Amino acid sequence: MMRAIAISVLFGGLIGCAADGGVDAPPTLEITSPQRGTTVQGETVEVSGVVTDDHDATKVKVVINGTQVTPSKDGTFTATVPVGAGITVLETHATDNGANDVRDVRAVLAGDLAMSDGTKAAPVGARIGAAAFAKLGTAMATTIKGTDFTAAVQSMNPVYDNGGCLGAKIDITSLTISNAGVALVPKVNALDTGVTLDNVVVKLHANFKVACIGGSTNITVTSSRAHIDGDLGLAVAGGKITTSLAAAAVTLDGFAIDIGGVPGAIESLLKGEARKAAENALTKAVRDRVPPMANTALAGLTAKPFAADLLGHPTKITIAPAQVNLSADGLFFAVDTKVAVTGGEGGMYVSSPSPMSASLMQSTGVGVAIADDLVNQLFSGLWAAGAIDQTVDIKGQLAVLGALLDDDAASLGISLALPPTVTGEGADLSLAIGDLMLSVKDASGAEIQKIALSAKTTLAAKPTQSGAMTLTVGQPQLFAQVISQSDAVDRPMTSEQFEGIVGGAWGLIGGQADSALSSLTMPSVAGITLGTPSLEGRTGYVFVDLPLQ
């Protein structure tokens, strides 16, 4: 009985204090503009809202992204807030005299906005340095060593054919080597190409006539080392790098020729023509083999057309050659690239074109630069097409979240009010997400909780074995707000509890970004082993540097 009286007195006292104004209720804050999902063409956004307070609304301190605003007598306020290019989080605080603080967090996409309709090109560049060309030469030498030279040169037969009573017909029967070397040294507009072939043995068969009397003999030409030197020229055709070895000079070290059983009148002819045949055969073999090998090796440097379903939506990437530059520092190649996602034509992205140049492409081995604009067009197109939105089963796909959410929670709907953006900021690369809307529903499909999440995180990436890019998102900086919770929720969401579910939802978003970027292939050079890549931002570009091993 005494306990009941004590409780009654306690609650009565509290109620009386509240009625007397002893308890200071927190103010209310409503942002009326901008709405979630707003895009702004420019560098400022107007933020409007209204505050109420149980005392005097004009005494409420309103701060928007660090700038204080004074409400009018009716509690309304308006402020012009500067925003940077990309996603900006607008964080508004309303604090009364009792230090009660309420907050509203929402995001806008601002800047020079363009449509993700596939009409605007963005550059993709690749570079291979002098050291990489040296590695490429070593790889090509291995291929040349395994070449069937006999089959390669027999199409030249007869290598000499001069009938008459003093003449001969000469055919190559075999051509072998013991080893090969290739040196590729970049210079202005060409690759200085030197091919060496060790222990060359060319066997020939000659049918001849002297004074109209016929005969035949076998000839063996040997050289301890053959040098075939020339300039490998580069050109761009159909978006591909092509090479050609228009001319080459041959030098034979340790040359010897074995010929016997022929009249003196024909011997000098046969020796001279046999040497020419050997030199021509070696030149042909190199000219026929080296450019195709170089073409294959360098093909991986260029961006490639792409057409496939991406996150369930047809996506097409087209390319057009833009720049090619070969100097003593290496090869730089760039293409203008367009990306179009079917159904994603209505998306908006921040267009911040930056010039592509060879100086941007400095790397320790093989490097590639992908314009922010291209990545953001891709993300915006997928966003507009609804490819990123999804609903997951909490008790199935995300069972671990069941312990953190309400007992009635059965599914989690994920949608983005704004497209994600990727930005290169100095050496940092960041991913920003504005107003990721999370809708928690019960088994009947009724929404019981709704949360908005904005986040900024770092990016890291590496190529997969197939040459695509795989993405890893870092620990995010979060701006979260519980928008609504129904009366059916037994455990109302707090910001701390919400952070507990971010890991699961964040992994899903990271996976979607990962799948999107997988269409942007990494560079490769056939025969060269590349080391662990590094990812960084370079003023408007996502840059990946792949060192040589």
Burial of 11 (0-12, 13-18, 19+ CB in 10 A): exposed
- In angstroms, the first-to-last Cα distance of the chain is 84
Domains in the chain: ranges and CATH? 24-110 (2.60.40.10), 130-299 (3.15.10), 330-546 (3.15.20.10)
User: Using an 8 Å Cβ cutoff, are 5 and 79 in contact?
Assistant: no
What string of pLDDT tens digits covers the 549 residues of the chain? 333 333 333 333 333 333 344 567 889 999 999 999 999 999 999 999 999 988 787 788 999 999 999 899 899 999 999 999 999 999 999 999 888 899 999 999 999 999 999 999 999 888 888 888 898 899 899 999 999 999 999 999 999 998 778 788 999 999 999 999 999 999 998 999 999 999 999 999 999 887 777 888 999 999 999 999 999 988 877 667 888 898 899 999 999 999 988 888 788 888 999 999 999 999 999 999 899 988 888 877 666 777 888 878 899 988 888 888 889 988 888 888 999 999 999 999 999 888 888 888 887 778 888 889 998 999 999 999 999 898 888 776 555 566 567 788 888 888 999 999 988 766 667 889 999 898 989 989 999 989 898 888 887 666 555 555 566 667 778 888 889 988 888 878 766 567 666 655 566 555 555 555 555 555 556 666 777 677 778 888 888 787 887
Torsion angle of C-alpha atoms 525, 531, 534, 538, degrees rounded to 10? -30
pLDDT at 469: 57
pLDDT at 4: 35
pLDDT at 501: 61
pLDDT at 1: 30
Name the residue among 400, 388, 459, 390 with its Cα closest to residue 425: 459
The pTM (predicted TM-score) of the whole model is 0.76
pLDDT at 15: 33
Read off the amino acid at residue 527: G
Quick count: other Cβ atoms within 10 Å of Cβ 547? Answer: 16
Beta strands 38-41 and 101-111: pairing type? parallel
DSSP 522: P
pLDDT at 459: 73
Strand partners, 161: 169
